[in-house]
Amino acid sequence: MAKLSLLDVYKYLPQTNCGECGEVTCMSFASKVLERKYKPTDCPPLVKDEKYRDKLQALSKLVAPPVKAVVIGKGNVAVTVGGKEVMYRHELTWHNPTALAVDVSDLDPPEKIEEKCKKIEAFRVIRIGQELSLDLVAVRAASGDPNRFEKAVEVVRKSCTYPMILCSLDPTVLAAVLRKPEVADSKPLLYAATKENWREMVVLAKKYQCPLVAFEPTSLADLKSLVLTIRNAGVEDIVLDPGTYTEGPGLKETLNKFVMIRRAAIKAEEEGLGYPILGVPAVTWLDGGEDPVKSYEETYLAAVMMARSADILILHTLQPYALLALTTLRQNLYTDPRKPVAVDPGLRTFGQPDENSPVLLTTNFALTYYTVANDIEAQGNTCYLLVANTGGLAVECSVAGGQLNASVVKSLIDESKIETKVKHRKLIIPQLAARLKGDIEDATQWEVIVGPRDSSEIKEFLKKVWPPEKN
Amino acid sequence: MASSKEDPVNELIRKVLDLVQKFGEIEIENVELSAEEFRLTFQPVVQNVVRRAEAALKAEEKPPELIKATFTPYLEKFPGQIVEVQIGATKSEGGTRGKVVKIGGERTMPFYSFEAANPNKPAFAMDVFDMPIPLAKPVKQMVEDVMHDPAEWAKKCVNKYGAQIVSLNLVSTDPLLEDRPVQQAMRSVENVLQAVDVPLIIGGSGNPQKDPFVLSKAAEVAHGEKVVLNSVSANMDYKTVVKAAKEHGHTVVAFTPMDMNNQKRLNRLLLDEGLPKNQIVQDPTTAALGYGLEYAFSLEERIKLAGLLGDEDLQMPIMAAASNAWGAREAWMKVEEWGPREIRGPLWETVTCVALMMAGADLFMISHPATVRVARKLADSLFGEGTCEQKIENWITSLK
């Protein structure tokens, strides 16, 4: 959406302050629309009341992002892609994290397809309180045989709840599976319309109300022509695949196209390119090759595409190191840059610490704090944790930059009144802050023990050094 | 279309009537005939009409052609340019390096080659330490045999691992480690300069009291070699280092912890000391993948954009220590369900590195040879080098 003011939004609201949305006033609802916390349809009267229909339509148009948001799948596993409003994440934030799909082939035996699907759904990692996982299964009609594809899709549906991308350039193959109401109802993404098959693909996408990929690797003019055509024929939910090459000049071309498409949508508001972008790092495997080399290559190429605002990536690898790196990168890039990077400094307790419990030190960088706090908790340690105000910097940076220093620690000890809570005067500091040991001891008269490098080692470390009398 | 259950004859008649009306071939308005009568009475006429109708139907069913479109990329014209910094000097330039490396000089965002040609690829330096230090296992495995000797270590990085620059870190001078005297630490500088002919980055130990002495002495020892002195910050005696850099012709890294305004301020301070703009590299702090990478990513993008838009104080090339990725537990910790750390570790560093390449970093510090290899290959590709034989049109069926 363009730069809007509060009043731009407010004038389309009922202005009754009815409170049905959960906000006290329409004005506060408007401000949350600007922050992208609410959509126009989150205002119940706007949706329910016939007399507001024009307002709802106008407001929806006003706040529509230049890159259309497209939904794949249905229910609680549905994935929204696109909806981007800016080129760079610092300008606002990137919405709708890149959806990660892994491919399965209908040439594989059913047991193998089942196994792969289960692995896809089983991949889960908890990082900083968030569960990271994959999103989609891309089923490839590698056989070209409608019957075989139908069976493979059946196996996928039974072994995995994720929405599907149905991949075949042959409309009769896709038609064969879409005929089944349960497949069409699951709202798969159809891959793909080309300049050869678009007539039939458009019929399928419209008949079954499924989003459709436009695949045209020749040029962006040709891609645009294909998109305008299928849009003109009545397909609204479109995803763009400008073609993914993963080596040499082809790779350069691919990434340039990603940027040009996004620029065209956001800066030039160009018709026909304001849709999510799909990349296929899986083509890294086109000429065969083996793990770990190919997974490694595919992963960093996928990372590069993600940094260039790809909205969907179809992967081939299922190696945990690859998926861990990519889901972590996605979490990083899609973090709201407006979110504070710091937690409140001060004293935290874990378990029920007493006057003999150890006292640890860390900084108030949110990531550092949550990592340390999660580890302390998970390991079942009982202790105090002093959180120093480093202006939201991690340990290593704040030691180098001087934000973590002896006087900060001194005032933290004073303000937290930790000296009234423990009998001892021993402070365990992170190993990365080891160089501050002398200074802190001079400033606070506490004894400083240099702790482990990583908070995952706190329990083992405490076993060795706590209680101190043991030594 | 009519449903298939409709009587074929009726269907035919309906179509014919529709078409006839449309084309005005014959007047059959107000004519009411049963199907049977129609067939019997007007057979020859109908046949004729049907033929025409079929042809017309075909024409109508033939769906529209592709809508023609053109595409012109939206181009930005940036008024500013990033300065070019040369690292290393050849004999004719007053040094002894066999190769030099140029970084920076961008006219547009990294690798936006549709918009403008940036002159230089990012460059990759490998870390060497002047004493054996604890290293993550996957890194240690690569250099274990040379860790006792910085010169051998440097050679291995250049000759075997493809490092374009050696980043020698004089950590032994740290009062908390060996507290090696400055003069003694210079032996490693001399030895490494002798052992390899690529340019050098010379780092201190990070001790703000001692580093000014270490770095200014190193500047003197490496006179004329155009090394990069790594680094100065606002909370240390940067003036001493800047003075030495000017005197001996080196570049200085301006390090600030994750803040664009502080970076701008420090860069300005160095400029005010009379250090030429093309002898400054900025390091706004590198956070690793999973540990704040997004801050480094956006900060680098913002700095690069600001420089391109004309902010004179932010037009220096950017340095990123991708090797910080080894601080992440995902890189070094043995966790079976995450896969072998021998792969996972370097991949963690590689992903940190390539993400920041996209954001705008020009000079990288790397610990693992795998990262150097793939990042250099990626940079080559993004400059259009190499070949691409991939046939992707049928990737759905041809993927192995």
Question: Tens digits of per-residue pLDDT, B328-340?
Answer: 889 999 999 999 9
Confidence of residue A2 (pLDDT cuts 50, 70, 90): low
| Residue % of chain A over a pLDDT of 70 | 99
Asked if A328's CB is within 8 angstroms of B395's CB, the reply is: no
Residues 345-374 of A with CB under 8 A from B: 365, 367-368, 371
**Residue B27 pLDDT class (50, 70, 90 cuts):** very low
- pLDDT tens track for A148-170: 999 999 999 999 999 999 999 99
Report the pLDDT value the prediction gives residue B25, as an integer from 0 to 100: 39
Residue A366 pLDDT class (50, 70, 90 cuts)? confident
Q: pLDDT-derived band of residue B167, with 50, 70 and 90 as boundaries? A: very high
Average pLDDT of the segment spanning A251-265: 97
Question: What is the SS3 string spanning B277-303?
Answer: HHHEEEECCCCCCCCCHHHHHHHHHHH
For tokens 């570049």, what's the residue? B251
Across-strand partners of A137?
A102, A164
Nearest CA in chain B to A249: B384
Distances (CA, A) of B88 to A253, B204, B323: 32, 18, 22
> Average pLDDT for residues B31-45, to the nearest whole number?
47
Cβ–Cβ below 8 Å for B114 and A259: yes
- pLDDT category at A61 given cuts 50, 70, 90 is confident
**For the segment B172-189, what is each residue's pLDDT rounded down to a tens digit?**
999 988 999 999 999 999
Least-confidence region, from A36-50, A108-122, A348-362, B142-156 = A36-50
Predicted TM-score of the model (pTM) = 0.86
Q: Does A248 touch chain B (CB under 8 A)?
A: yes
Contact B390 A456 (CB under 8 A): no
Contact B390 A224 (CB under 8 A): no
Give the count of alpha carbons within 13 A of B63, CB side only: 15
As a whole number, mean pLDDT of residues A110-139 equals 94
Nearest C-alpha of chain B: how many angstroms from A47? 36
Give the closest-approach CA distance of A110 to chain B in angstroms.
Answer: 17
Q: Which positions in chain A touch B387 (Cβ < 8 Å)?
A: 247-249
Confidence of residue A397 (pLDDT cuts 50, 70, 90): confident
Is the C-alpha dihedral spanning B206, B210, B216, B221 positive or negative? negative
pLDDT band at B19 (very low <50, low <70, confident <90, very high): very low
At B4 the pLDDT is 43
- What domains does chain A contain, in order, with CATH numbers? 6-63 (1.10.15.40), 70-333 (3.20.20.20), 346-470 (3.40.50.11600)
| Chain B residues near residue A189 by CB distance under 8 angstroms | none
Question: Given this model, what pLDDT does residue A399 score?
Answer: 87
Number of C-alpha atoms within 13 angstroms, CB side, residue A318? 16
